[in-house]
Amino acid sequence: MKVLINSYKINLKIDSSRKSFSGVVEISLESRDSYIDLNAVDLEIGSVIVDGKDSPYERLPEIQAIRVPLKEGANRVSVAYTGSIPKLLTGFYLARTESQDIFTTQFESTGARRMFPCVDHPAYKARFTLSVEVDRDLDVISNMPVSRLEDLPGGKKLVNFQETPRMSTYLLYLGVGKFDERSVKRGKTDLILAAPKGSLTESDFPLEIAGKVLDFFESYFDIPYFLPKLHLISVPEFAAGAMENWGAITFREIYLSIGPSTSSSSYKSIAEVIAHEIAHQWFGDLVTMEWWNDLWLNESFATFMSYKAISSIKPEWDPVGDQIFLRTSGALKNDALKASHPIDVEVRNPDEIAQIFDEISYGKGASSNAKGSDLWRSIEEASGMPVSRIMEAWVKRKGYPVITATASGEKLNLKQDYFLLHGIERAPPWPVPLTARFKSGSKSLVFDSYEMPIPAEGLVVINENAAGFYRVNYSPDLFRAVSDNGKVLSPYERWQLANDIYALLLAGGLSFNDYKKRLESIWVHSDYILIREISAQLEDLYLVAPNSTQVASMIRNYYAIHKGSLGEKEDGEPLDRSIARSSLQSLFANVDKEFSASLAKKFDYYFTLDSDIRSIVAHAFAREGGSFMALSEKLSASRTDEDRTKILSAMAWVNSPSDLQEALSMVREGKVKRQDVVRFYTSLGVSVKNRSVFLENMEEIIRSLSEIFVGSRTPARVIETTVPIAGIGRADELRARLKKMETDLLAPGIRKAIELLEVNEKLKHRIK
């Protein structure tokens, strides 16, 4: 690097009534170049001073920067500027509650440049000192504790914060508003739960989880948490789920608001998200990726470690099963698309960064910066094994193999091909770390050729505990033999059997009848992870072919098998049992009108219902003719994001066209949280009755989402979630329309959507 940033001193004045701010940033740096490019977006530059003298500068809109001349050596650059606080959910923005405005920041990946001129690049770490002038009745939160408060004339105050350690610009945080707080001391760290005034949860669950997770990571890494305090901040409108700002983690309200509306699955996701963001306080914050191509190193490791932490503090929750069902499954599906990308993907400019915040980066896998190669080298040194050779082949290449296993006498013949949902193709082999379990024990090897024989005697299963990132396609005889071992297979191995056969069905590797036979041979098992997996598969099939009598029959039969074993909810039962029951009930309500009608009758008592059945009841009410007015009344009465999103999602399933138009108008007119419009539009796009309405309004919907979620993958994610379902039977039309909509940010989602639409159209033709 030709420039070393030592520090930023940022002085801000917030005008809360005008929703604007003015600032001066002083940058101390060392330069080996004749200029510095300071990123700045939507900021009006007033003056630039270098070493005490006015300096010219050049505007470079193509790189979102101003170029300031420097001398070699030490420089002190001061920039005065002004800006407005927009409603965009990025940068320094306005987040509204029913009673007040909150000003908050979301800087990952390139939002810092919207609040102050800076070198907005993760490798350019610096120390930050922040001073904020605000109305005296407002609270201010940042990464570090307050160092000094000063009363100013005119009802103002100046809040000065301690200097941060060296960190990247995207980790700086500023929150301004009226907050309630509750804190506990954990060792030397103040853990603080914060929320807009009047909305702080009474539950200690978030602080309890955060404290235990903090203890776990300090012990596991043998590195103490680096800052004196850690805020967990509830943000009323937030594009992301959470953000790991160092010392000031922000969350959507749903992740910090615990109460009667909190479902069993939400308890688990709350704990995982808190653990994920706290994990980032070490890798991501203390040690940061050098550039965004190593985002996977940041996110995948945080995902891995979050489940490891939860396994330590809540082993009864089966976090490994959650990781497999929620993360591995999504990564396997997305990486089976031609539109996928390698884990380690080249990022050339800021516009491409948002495109890689996806299932691949999260699921497939002292203050300084790091690269993926640093990890492999460290593991090699610790283990003495050739990790780099294997891992480089996986992270630099998209996709994964399917291993076809056939028996030939005393041998198992293994063959690997490139697995794609469009069909299986020949490709150079991967070096696959493969573990097979036999009655005599486990055998591990590296399968790095097209074909390889292994002994067949006593085979129990290939891919022990679903630990490998590949699929297995057993010949019919072998599948029968493996499924006959059902009672000795682990729940994860049974999940893998089910997940693989569904993927093979999608790819055309199994006929629908063969898939059905194989599924029915294993669906008697009552593992909670297996019930969730099979319920999800059957619901997908229902959405693809809602009029199929065969799919409806399979759903009825599956429900009948497990209804009795799951029974009614009991106090203190395992969360996974509650989640499995909800999955099964939601599935069955799609095809059984009597059951759906019985649920709909409970909607009048929505707020007294168990949290795990509220979403199912709301959807049944909408599906069985419930009115927009009744849903709207419950929406207005909701006090938590969890209830609001459940009811909003159900609104998209109303039967009456006029009711649906009222729901659409409500969303368009901004009468719901901006972050929540995604839930409504996604539900609309898969609604059996109303998906065509989504397509009629698709361009307008995506345009409005792009205006709310600036620089985010969210609009692309809506396309890739809805179009593969809503567009069945209209593929040619959708290709043409989506091509006209294509932008750099939307392009990856459009490619995925078209590919999945083609897969679903073929699937529908195979379903009877």
Spatial CB neighbours of 381, under 8 Å, sequence gap ≥ 6 = none
Round to whole Å and give the CA distance between 487 and 490.
Answer: 8
Is residue 700 packed enough to be buried (19+ CB in 10 Å), middle (13-18) or exposed (0-12)? exposed
CB 195 within 8 A of CB 256: yes
Letter string b/e over residues 732-757, b meaning 16 or more CB atoms within 10 A of that residue's CB: eebeebbeebeeebbbbbbbbbbbbb
Q: Is 73 left (phi over 0), alpha (psi -120 to 50) or beta?
A: left
Which positions of the chain have pLDDT values less than 70?
1, 289-295, 343-372
Strands 101-106 and 91-96: antiparallel
Q: Are 464 and 423 in contact (CB under 8 A)?
A: no
What percent of the chain clears pLDDT 70, i.e. is strictly above it?
95
CB atoms within 10 A of CB 407: 15
Q: Can you give the pLDDT at residue 345?
A: 52
Contact predicate 1/368, CB 8 Å: no
Nearest-10 Cα torsion for 108, 114, 120, 122: -10
- Nearest-5° Cα angle at 486, 484 to 489: 130
Q: What is the pLDDT of residue 293?
A: 63
pLDDT on residue 368: 47
Pairing of strands 53-54, 44-50: antiparallel
pLDDT of 429 reads 95
Query: Looking at the chain, which residues constitute the CATH 2.60.40.1730 domain(s)?
Result: 1-177
* Contact partners, residue 567, CB within 8 Å, separation at least 6: none
CA dist 528 and 495 (Å) reads: 10
One-letter identity of residue 379: I
- HSE-CB for 352 with a 13 A CA cutoff: 10
Please report the pLDDT score of residue 366 as a whole number: 39
**Residue range(s) occupied by CATH 1.10.390.10 in the chain:** 287-395
CATH superfamily name and code, 1-177:
tricorn interacting facor f3 domain (2.60.40.1730)
Q: Which residues contact 560 (CB under 8 A, 6 or more apart)?
A: none
pLDDT of 283: 85
Q: What is the pLDDT of residues 354-366, one digit of tens each?
A: 444 445 444 444 3
What pLDDT is attached to residue 365? 42
Category of 130 on φ-ψ map: left (φ > 0), alpha (ψ -120 to 50) or beta: beta
Name the active-site residue from 277, 299, 359, 720: 277
287-395 has which CATH code?
1.10.390.10
Nearest to 306 by CA among 281, 342, 325, 334: 281
Q: b/e string for 195-215 if b means 16 or more Cβ within 10 A?
A: bbeebbbeeebbbebbbbbbb
Residues 6+ apart with CB under 8 A from 234: 193, 194, 195, 196, 199, 200, 201, 251, 252, 253, 255, 256, 257
DSSP 180-210: EEEEEEETTEEEEEEEETT---S--HHHHHH
Q: Is the dihedral of CA 39, 83, 706, 89 positive or negative?
A: positive
Any catalytic annotation for residue 277? yes
How many angstroms separate the CA atoms of 494 and 492, rounded? 5
Q: Structure tokens of 509?
A: 């590797």
Single-letter code of the amino acid located at 312: S
Residues 6+ apart with CB under 8 A from 201: 193, 195, 234, 256, 257, 258, 259
